[in-house]
Structure 1
């Protein structure tokens, strides 16, 4: 798979497709380990119509890091992959293609149309699965799942029938989110709320004859943003404590236009402080009003529905809507006024409109029909039209009963939610959960297994034959035309993908419950909670013991990404530019226990540079005869530098393991990054350079080649979950360089197990040299001294560590810290700076004379001037940030910039103070 000589440049595109094909072809994503401990995750199945977006990139990168990590640790790691049939989205795609050919769904039978959807699925569906491959996802593609596969259909039907027979699924008339364009109910997740400029109208609702308010008015004033719905008003609500209306509660008003006589009811939904304190109640077209109507004793079957499925006005059951309004659309359409405009015009003409009085800038009063107001308006995310709360017969799951056990499991710790801050949100939703509407008015999907006879009796069964058996011979049956909500089938994902409901399924027996679920917080209720419910109902246990909720990937300025804003980032474009490894590492490094991630392409570029650094370090190793290691255990080491790097490997391995146990992806990636870049590339390779200046077979060189090759192998293993492509390439390159071949791919290698004891004296010595070198370099930078300048140094009181290190490693001190000569003793009088070296609990203070190196007075003046500027800026910014008005009213990006500038100037002031202190 790899040439013996590593290319001079790292080009991600040259290796990614090649290695992914190799892994997939050789079964690397599911090594057969029948006796190993199972580790299982299932991916949130993306829509079969979908393409990889930045949220998918985050979600799947985190899952892949976990699964590769556990695979390296010897687990029988299974990552279940598949796609969701995405009822609405898929049907829309196919219908849109039909429209382009001047064709439409209704030209075909249901069966013929479903066949066309399957054709589309086989020819064009699943684009996202190839894109997941580009990201490096090590999923078990040999068992790819689809929520409409026959075995999955069987699982869905069994669950529906069982729930129905247990009284947990029922048919009811309730309000749903109705999409008038798609002609179907949709879930809350598919509703997007937009703030639109609208109007707030005030109307008079006349009290019945002889009834007046305390102030003598013979009407109640109501206000609404949806005047057209008054055609189906069934009550007026006032708050129980509102004394203005106490005398008329139980009385009636007579609606304008329809003449309907409706009651005045007492209900806490009415806010005495808002408007007139009286609220019109339209239970058939408003979710809050629906609940008020029920509390007022109005049965759902008696609630008025004034719109049809197209959102056109239809006659209500009491026949009181005038003919002039019938068939009007709810809003303006094709340049013609809709029901809203017609109702307002009629109420105004009949004297029931209360005008809004506004004042101009000059103080003049101007009369308007309505008060302008921003209104939160629900839109269907796919149909793109305003959602209508619509009263209709649908199928429901008794979610309250199914939620009881998951609530208990989270409270007891049987299911752990990470981060735990999401528990409060989880409990709040689950403890106030509403019935779950599971029916959709579509042709594509799992058709509801319910049949009706001519009298409306319902027969639920897995097959038509079973339903017929229940109904009796000769009884004509018609199957429900609705299909199930796609969340119903995906709720079975953790076990239906493993063979349920078939009995004696080895995969199911071993890999259920799953080990972990990684999910965006935005589907906590729509998918995660429902898997908890269905796992408990069907399997009698939680589907997994731990749920990790990650945040969103936001634009660089912190705003939410959206196509309308033009700030959407294409992960495939980033992969093309920087490579999949760099994008993956960015995601891991920025993922901090569910906090949102700000997109930063510069950081992605920085992680590509990190990969290049590792590539070049490997080339350096090869140029010095360092190849692959043949041992898991650390090689024997006598040299201090070699003992030190072995100790550092032991430490970073422990750090990564601790971070992964807590799902701290940022901490794990930071640990391997710092070790690779700083400890191995910058320090260790620099420390061992002199070893290779002599004969190739001298004992020090032989030892160092063995240790360096082993340490590089450990880096490749520990970095592999984060950057799989470059690490696999270098893993094989190291073996090929030595003229050999790896016995196995890195993807199935073993996690580090150094089993090494190292001398603390040796590791302390190297830490001491590194600390001294770092501090000397920093001091030179602060004082404007050339990095390569060699400076004399004095050590008045040498610690035992300093004395032994200088005795054995004076050459390293001279070469790295650029200090020569180093004298153990007092420094001469005169200007000097102080530099410390710390390690092993010991501190040494070096005195470095500066006479003739810099102009002390001039340098002090420069530092004091710069210090004054930074202190002044820091104080000014501190004052601005302590001003509540600024923090609350300024744009978020302005506040963030002020915080960043304050941090910068504070750090700069501290640095300058330290530089001045060095000069005495």
Structure 2
């Protein structure tokens, strides 16, 4: 199969007389050869004529290539050397070792990796190049937009606990538990990125090599090039547990989308916690509705299925930012959000907004995650009360050694913003 005739975006044959000729070398120079390749694989079947649209090529770079690159940057940022990832731990690079993590998100992304490896292999064997490329693209989206986003706190909590002056507490876990969870997440993410580089290698040889070489810096066991590696191996038969987990996560994400749409209708920002999310029917068939409805998320975790369901509902709870999930067959729609905001909930929302503002300010100041800061804040009494009431949590979240409630002329970055109904001035300096 060879590349079909390349037309302009309106389906017209390119010619100098029409002035619609696109210089391919200019596109390669601007977007990269591999982005152009990927566009050609995914815009339509390889042998068909292609309506070339530079805007769509720009989307490939922005929404696919840079998305994977940002996943790598995230890994490089939060792979803490304290975990000794450059020494003995990295000799365990096989899939069985990666699967030792009991965290539901680690299990899910590894199950998705197995699924995309199987589907891409079958499609490549059938010469369905476009289908294989789109399957890999969907997987990369799941890795970035779901696994990494939902795992962000696992990485950041541990990183803060390793930082000088940082707290070793994250959601009630002890320091050792935080470190172990971070280690599992880091190993899992590294393994998945390595396998992704192998999946990409036939399609994007230069980008796949750059991804592989960046990960190779952590280990002496990898080969000289990704192009010397075998195509990723898949399980001969996917397990029932993995298949069910994949289906359940699809359902969780669907329910989350419905609930977030309800938030948008009510005009409540995602960082503002709400009290309750009601679901019309249980999200999962294997658990009795009455048990879930009665216990919510406070159920015991002795049963493995029960543990999985609870962990999945915890993910939904965090994604939608609700305090509790209950089941109610009498509600009109599939989901119903309690939009009543108590003063306590409002205070928690203000704290989250303050935290996000300081985290953005850290980026503006060029702070690394490990850098502790000295924070200055000019805030009204209401917000100062919220900060002081949650002082340790707030300082841990923004990695601040000190918080002073005054203006200063000595800072690395400053910000004027609005939290709730009040104007706020924030500034910080490193150290």
Cα distance in 2 between the residues matched to 1:766 and 1:591: 29
The answer on 1:611 being equivalent to 2:91 is no
Alignment of 1:634-653 (within 5 A): 634=96, 635-637=98-100, 638-653=102-117
Instruction: Select the residue among 251, 254, 257 that pairs with 1:771.
Output: 254
Partner of 1:597: 50
Match of 1:746 among 209, 226, 230: 226
Does structure 2 retain, via aligned residues, the 8 Å contact 1:790–1:820? yes
Deviation at 1:758, TM superposition (A): 7.2
Report the Cα offset of residue 849 of structure 1: 4.0
1:754-808: CA deviations, max 9, x gaps? 4475734544443333222223234444665534443421235434458445633
Larger relative helix fraction: 2
Aligned equivalent of 2:145, options 665, 676, 682: 682
Q: Secondary structure at the match of 2:335?
A: strand
In 1, are the aligned partners of 2:252 and 2:313 still within 8 Å (CA)?
no
Please list every run of 5 or more consecutive structure 2 residues that lacks an aligned counterpart in the other structure: 159-174, 293-305, 343-431
Q: Does 1:704 align with 2:188?
A: no
In the superposition, the TM-score normalised over structure 2's length comes to 0.60
Note if contact 1:833-1:848 (Cα within 8 Å) is conserved in structure 2.
no
Q: How many pairs are equivalent?
A: 290
1:76 matched residue in structure 2: none
Distance verdict in 2 for CA 1:632–1:572, change over 3 Å: farther
State which structure, 1 or 2, has the greater radius of gyration over its C-alpha atoms. 1
Partners of 1:779 and 1:581 in 2: CA distance: 40
Contact 1:691–1:700 (Cα < 8 Å) also in 2: yes
Q: Which of structure 1's runs of 4+ aligned residues deviate more than 6 A?
A: 626-629
Q: CA 1:656–1:833 in 2, change beyond 3 Å: closer, same or farther?
A: same
Residue of structure 1 equivalent to 2:395: none
* Aligned equivalent of 2:125: 661
Instruction: Tell me if the contact between 1:772 and 1:817 (Cα under 8 Å) persists in the aligned partners.
Output: no
Conserved 8 A contact 2:118-2:234: no
**Alpha-carbon distance in 2 for matches of 1:590, 1:797:** 39
Question: Structure 2 vs 1, CA of residues 757 and 700 (structure 1 numbering), >3 Å: closer, same or farther?
Answer: farther
Equivalence for 1:821? 324
User: Is this contact kept in 2: 1:632–1:752, CA < 8 A?
Assistant: no
Which residue in the other structure is 1:731 paired with? 212
Give the direction of change, closer, same or farther, for the CA distance of 1:796–1:667 in structure 2 (3 Å limit): closer
Q: Specify the SS of the correspondent of 2:114.
A: helix
State whether residues 641 and 762 of structure 1, in contact with CA within 8 Å, keep that contact through their aligned partners in structure 2: no
1:640-679 Cα shifts (integer Å, max 9, x gaps): 21111111111111221222223222212111111102x1
Shift of 1:688: 2.3
CA distance in 2, matches of 1:788, 1:710: 31
Q: 3-state DSSP class of the match of 1:794?
A: strand
Contact 2:111–2:246 under 8 Å retained in 1: yes
Q: 1:587 maps to which residue? A: 40
Q: 1:715 Cα deviation (Å)?
A: 0.9
**1:577–1:813 Cα change, 3 Å:** same
Secondary structure of residue in 2 paired with 1:563: coil
Distance verdict in 2 for CA 1:623–1:652, change over 3 Å: same
- Show the counterpart of 1:691: 154
Deviation of 1:601 after TM superposition, in Å, equals 0.4
Name the CA distance, whole Å, in 1 between partners of 2:176 and 2:241: 26
Aligned counterpart, 1:631: 93
Kindly state the Cα deviation for residue 721 of structure 1 after the two structures are TM-superposed. 1.9
- The offset of 1:682, in angstroms, is 0.7
Alignment of 1:481-880 (within 5 A): 518-519=1-2, 550-592=3-45, 594-609=47-62, 610-625=64-79, 631-634=93-96, 635-637=98-100, 638-677=102-141, 679-692=142-155, 693-694=157-158, 695=175, 698-736=179-217, 738=218, 740=220, 742-755=222-235, 757=239, 759-760=241-242, 762-781=245-264, 785-791=268-274, 792-795=276-279, 797-798=281-282, 799=284, 800=286, 803=292, 804=306, 807-825=310-328, 834=333, 845-849=334-338
Q: Distance in 2 between matches of 1:557 and 1:629?
A: 53
Separation of aligned partners in 1, 2:74 and 2:176: 15
SS of aligned partner of 2:336: strand
Query: Quick check: which one's strand share is greater?
Result: 1
How far does residue 824 in structure 1 lie from its aligned partner after superposition?
A: 3.7
